Amino acid sequence: MPVYQTVLKRPALRMFIIARMHSHRTHVRVRYAETDQMGVVYYANYFVWMEVARVEFCKALGFRYRDMELDDGVLLAVVDAQCRYLYPARFDEDVIVETRLGDANPRIVSFAYEMRLAEGDRKLATGSTRHIFCNQEMKPVKLPARYRAAFGIE
């Protein structure tokens, strides 16, 4: 039997491979309130867009981040966030935030983001976030086994 058929018969390994290759696109329409006096998107809003895209990315992986919080008591606390601004976005433009899974282990996960204009595909910014899995008391915990394949953790 070919190796790829063996891999596809193992659900956890299949999810691991999908998670590592997968990216997700989230569309965000720039609201007037997100712009500054210069008419461009205020820099902090890019971090809000990354959060929106991260939640949508989790849905695309097959679970709701909200359910992970409510049902399992596991939160994703941000320990590092970066954004490199390349070109300004303006009111009413359609922005695509592409999210990819970075490094992950049972305690920490990172995500990479690329923000582009939908029209013309101009790159606006790149970013990353790193998160620690923690409980409601903000104490570090290991990610429950049922989510590990979705995060590409064997």
Q: What are the residue numbers of the active site?
A: 36
The string of DSSP letters for 89-105 reads -BTT-EEEEEEEEEEE-
- How far is CA 36 from each of CA 39, 40, 81, 119, rounded to the nearest angstrom? 5, 6, 21, 22
H/E run at residue 49: helix 45-61
